[in-house]
Amino acid sequence: MSGGVDSSVAAVLLQQQGFEVIGITLQLWDYDTVARNPRGEQGCCDISQQIDARHVCAQIGVPHYVLDLRKDFRDGVVHPYERAYLDGITPNPCVWCNSKVKWGAVLPRAAQMGFDYIATGHYANIVRGRNGVRLEKGDDPAKDQSYALWEISKQALEKTVLPLGHKTKTEIRRIAADLELKTAHKSESQEVCFIPDTYDQYLRELYPDEIERIGAGDIVTTAGEHKGMHSGFFSYTIGQRKGLNISDGKGPYYVTEIQRDSNRVIVGADQELFRPGLIAHSLNWVSFDEPKKPERCTVKIRYNDRGVPATAFPIENGRLEIRFRSPQRAVTPGQSVVWYKGRAVWGGGMIARAIVR
Angle subtended by helix axes 5-16 and 47-60, to nearest 10: 20
- In this prediction, residue 217 carries a pLDDT of 97
321 contacts 312 by C-beta, under 8 angstroms: yes
Amino acid at 89: I
CATH class of 273-355: mainly beta
Give residue 130's pLDDT. Answer: 87
8 Å CB contact between 234 and 88: yes
d(CA 290, CA 308): 20
d(CA 225, CA 263): 15
What is the per-residue pLDDT for 173? 96
User: Are 55 and 61 in contact, with CB atoms under 8 Å apart?
Assistant: no
List the one residue out of 286, 290, 280, 298 whose CA is nearest residue 342: 298
Q: What are the extents of the domains in the chain?
A: 5-121+163-178, 215-268, 273-355
Phi, psi of 253 (to 5 degrees): -110, 150
Rounded Cα gap, residues 105 and 63, in angstroms: 20
pLDDT score recorded for residue 34? 47
Element (H, E) at 319: strand 319-329
Count the Cβ atoms, other than its own, within 10 Å of residue 31: 16
Determine the pLDDT at residue 38: 44
Residue type, 299: V
Q: Concatenate the DSSP letters of all residues of 20-43 into one string.
A: ---EEEEE---HHHH-SS-----G
Dist. CA 268–CA 244, nearest whole Å? 11
Active-site hit among 44, 45, 97, 297? 97
231 in helix, strand or coil? coil
pLDDT of residue 251: 84
Contacts of residue 132, defined as CB under 8 A and 6 or more positions apart, other chains included, come to: 154, 158
Q: How far apart are CA 275 and CA 355, in angstroms?
A: 6
Distance CA 241, CA 255 (A): 7
* 219 secondary structure, DSSP code: E
Q: 3-state class of 146 per DSSP?
A: helix
Question: Which architecture characterizes domain 5-121+163-178 according to CATH?
Answer: 3-Layer(aba) Sandwich (3.40)
The answer to whether 94 is a known catalytic residue is no
Q: Is 193 a catalytic residue?
A: yes
Where the chain has pLDDT below 50, the residues are 31, 34-42
Instruction: Classify domain 215-268 at the CATH superfamily level.
Output: Adenine nucleotide alpha hydrolases-like domains (2.30.30.280)
The alpha carbons of the chain give a radius of gyration, in whole angstroms, of: 22
Question: Of 44, 57, 94, 193, which is the active-site residue?
Answer: 193
Nearest Cα residue to 204 out of 55, 114, 82, 339: 82
Q: Output the pLDDT for position 44.
A: 53
| pLDDT score at 190 | 61
Q: What are the residue ranges of helices labelled H in the chain?
A: 5-16, 31-34, 47-60, 70-73, 79-86, 93-96, 106-112, 154-157, 169-178, 199-206, 208-214
CA angle 251/257/263 to nearest 5° reads 105
Closest-CA residue to 200 (of 169, 160, 232):
232
Q: pTM of the predicted model, to two decimals? A: 0.93
SS3 180: coil
For β-strands 344-355 and 336-341, DSSP reports them as antiparallel
